[in-house]
Amino acid sequence: MNWQERVSLAQRNTLGIDACAEFFAAVSEEAELAAVLAAARCRDLPLMVLGGGSNIVLAGDVAGLVLQPALRGIRCVAETSTHFLVEAGAGESWHGFVQYSLAQGWYGLENLALIPGTVGASPIQNIGAYGLELTDRFHSLTAMAIDSGELREFSHSDCHFAYRDSVFKQALAQRYVITRVRFLLLKQPQLRLDYGDVRQELAAQGVSVPGPRDVAAAIIALRQRKLPDPAVLGNAGSFFKNPRVSAADFARLQQAYPGLPAYPQDSGEMKLAAGWLIEQAGWKGRRLGPVGAYEKQALVLVNHGGARGSDVLAAARAIQAAVWDKFAVRLEMEPLVYGAEAAAGLPR
């Protein structure tokens, strides 16, 4: 079995935190995955599943086995008059998959272009951007149970998708390794343009009748302008979820802050822009030690160099406290925390 011991994860998490895995294995086939899981069970090793490391905070070295699913392959497995059913291996790059789909004429993922990470992680938090979520295009997935090595199919309803959430972050957290994900992609484009600056960007690029590839190009340009490239400045994307507040709380806040951006939800709640709250609390561009809120989008915490997980979490807590003091709104972290300090029970 191809396990490595004491492997640095510094290049395997986009925050660029230097932490070590006690053991590390990348697996590219189902049979190999079953064997590795059985061996880890035999040795009673704790297990962490690692994709591209773009939505985690390593708060110390990781005890036990860090397992990276590297199953590859993208293929159309069925089609109807309106849809393609497309399956991708967990180890495929998400953005690579989006680009490949568009090149094949399999439409519908264009708004999710340039999200870092892997296909296998995409259902975990029901990735979303620019008015589209994974749930809108998801069909089903296959996953292997960590405690038995059995393969199980999950339908759309089995996954309990919600805003940046799924059953894999809740009841079934750390219970399954997702191996393959299937998507229902469109034969005829159904563009979603009514979000943020998408239309303005298309106009600025001189596109008057956009197709799916134009939308992807516009979103790539918007993201490249606004978000730090993890290869240059370590980050894990949005560090907090956009909070939902009751209509009564929103009325209270709006009275005090008439410019407060908010979006009505089906539940009757209002979604607030966490980045705006952080900026108003004085944190845009501000640092605590080596970690700061990014100067172009305060919702993104960046590693200015040499940050440890504890530095990231200290900055996160300071921001949570500042937003609470000003607005009495609680910010919940989006990335998951792993490593020694996580085991010691850090607050979420």
Strand partners, 243: none
Query: Does residue 180 carry a catalytic annotation?
Result: no
Give the three-class secondary structure for 133.
strand
Confirm or reject binding of residue 322 to ligand FAD (CB under 6 A): no
Confirm or reject binding of residue 56 to ligand FAD (CB under 6 A): yes
Tally Cβ neighbours within 10 Å of residue 5.
9
Give the three-class secondary structure for 139.
strand
87, 238, 244, 341: which one is catalytic?
Answer: 238
Confirm or reject binding of residue 127 to ligand FAD (CB under 6 A): yes
Confirm or reject binding of residue 236 to ligand FAD (CB under 6 A): yes
Which uninterrupted H or E stretch holds 298? none
- Between residues 235 and 310, which has the closer beta carbon with respect to ligand FAD? 235
Confirm or reject binding of residue 74 to ligand FAD (CB under 6 A): no
Partner in contact with 60, chosen from ligand FAD, ligand NAP, none, beta carbon below 5 to 8 Å by kind: none
Query: Does residue 332 carry a catalytic annotation?
Result: no
Confirm or reject binding of residue 342 to ligand FAD (CB under 6 A): no
- Between residues 84 and 239, which has the closer beta carbon with respect to ligand NAP? 239
Residue 80 makes CB contacts below 8 A (sequence gap 6+) with: none
- Between residues 195 and 203, which has the closer beta carbon with respect to ligand FAD? 195
Alpha-carbon span 82 to 223, nearest angstrom: 30
Partner in contact with 14, chosen from ligand FAD, ligand NAP, none, beta carbon below 5 to 8 Å by kind: ligand FAD
Q: Do 235 and 216 form a contact (C-beta atoms < 8 A)?
A: no
Give the three-class secondary structure for 115.
coil
Confirm or reject binding of residue 196 to ligand FAD (CB under 6 A): no
DSSP 199-260: HHHHHHTT-SS--HHHHHHHHHHHHHHHS--TTTSEEEEE-BPPPEE-HHHHHHHHHH-TT-
Partner in contact with 263, chosen from ligand FAD, ligand NAP, none, beta carbon below 5 to 8 Å by kind: ligand NAP
Scored b (16 or more CB within 10 A) or e, 102-122 reads beeebbbbbbbbbbbbbbbbb
- Between residues 128 and 189, which has the closer beta carbon with respect to ligand NAP? 128
87, 92, 334, 341: which one is catalytic?
Answer: 334
Hey, what are 340's tokens?
């020694």
Query: Does residue 164 carry a catalytic annotation?
Result: yes
Choose, by CB under 6 A, the member of 16, 60, 89, 117 that binds ligand FAD. 117
- Between residues 84 and 276, which has the closer beta carbon with respect to ligand NAP? 276
137, 164, 180, 244: which one is catalytic?
Answer: 164
Confirm or reject binding of residue 210 to ligand FAD (CB under 6 A): no
Q: Do 145 and 137 form a contact (C-beta atoms < 8 A)?
A: no
Partner in contact with 66, chosen from ligand NAP, ligand FAD, none, beta carbon below 5 to 8 Å by kind: none
Question: Given the rule CB under 6 A, which residues bind ligand FAD?
Answer: 14, 49-56, 69, 90, 115-118, 120-122, 124-125, 127-129, 176-178, 227, 230, 235-237, 336
